[in-house]
Amino acid sequence: MNLTKNSTRFNFLVKELTSSLFREKLKEITTTGDIAGYETPNAFGKTSKKKKKNLEKQTGYKFVDEGVSESDMKKIRDTIRKEVSDILRDIWIKRNSWGGK
């Protein structure tokens, strides 16, 4: 059967194959793969206090300081240390329960 002669059948076949491919094979599709990056020269620059105040009035939102304080860093380190020690303890318990040497 020549599919190019019957355009309705060809279109149906293409739609069917793409939908089955989408359902079975693809988990995620992105449309930003060919974007080189931000083209705005001052996209991540400093914002003056006057401009911040004006933006806060216009949007109704407040600017937040995104810096990590030393106390936050200490909490992060302690949490990571605790999680790693729990993982190592679990491995040790499992290994000993298997009778491994």
- Close Cβ partners of 24 (under 8 Å, ≥ 6 residues apart): none
**8-42: per-residue pLDDT in tens?**
777 788 778 777 766 655 555 566 655 666 566 66
**CA neighbours closer than 13 Å in the CB half-sphere of residue 45:** 8
pLDDT computed for residue 60 by the predictor: 87
Q: Tell me if residue 53 falls in helix, strand or coil.
A: helix
pLDDT computed for residue 79 by the predictor: 93
Residue 62 contacts residue 56 (beta carbons within 8 Å) = yes
pLDDT computed for residue 81 by the predictor: 93
**33-67: per-residue pLDDT in tens?**
556 665 666 666 777 888 888 888 888 888 777 77
Q: Tell me if residue 70 falls in helix, strand or coil.
A: helix
pTM for the structure as a whole: 0.34
